Amino acid sequence: MPHCSRIVALLIDYVEDRLPGERRRELERHLAGCGSCAAALNTYRSTLSLLGSLSEDDLPDELRTRLRAFLDRESAN
């Protein structure tokens, strides 16, 4: 089973549908059994849909702080 930090690094490609099939299946298997990565995916998706219409400067401070803390925590994993 791949390490969570590797999964999180792949989420951007997964969301943008750029992963080759084997990796995609590996990631989906991991997501099915890992609540924290599934939550990271949900956070990432909702962040992306926000960013689709807003620039980062338009994000509420609280969201920006939480997003940054989330990304710091994940990359320190």
* Residues 12, 16, 18, 20, Cα dihedral to 10°: 80
Give the nearer residue to Zn ion in terms of CB position, either 2 or 50: 2
Site for Zn ion in 16-75 (CB under 5 A): 34, 37
Cα 28 from chain centre: 13
Give the nearer residue to Zn ion in terms of CB position, either 47 or 59: 47
Phi first, then psi, for residue 59 (nearest 5°) are -65, 140
- DSSP secondary structure code for residue 57 in this structure: G
Give the nearer residue to Zn ion in terms of CB position, either 19 or 37: 37
Binding-site member from 2, 4, 24, 50 for Zn ion (CB under 5 A): 4
Instruction: Return residues touching Zn ion (CB under 5 A).
Output: 4, 34, 37
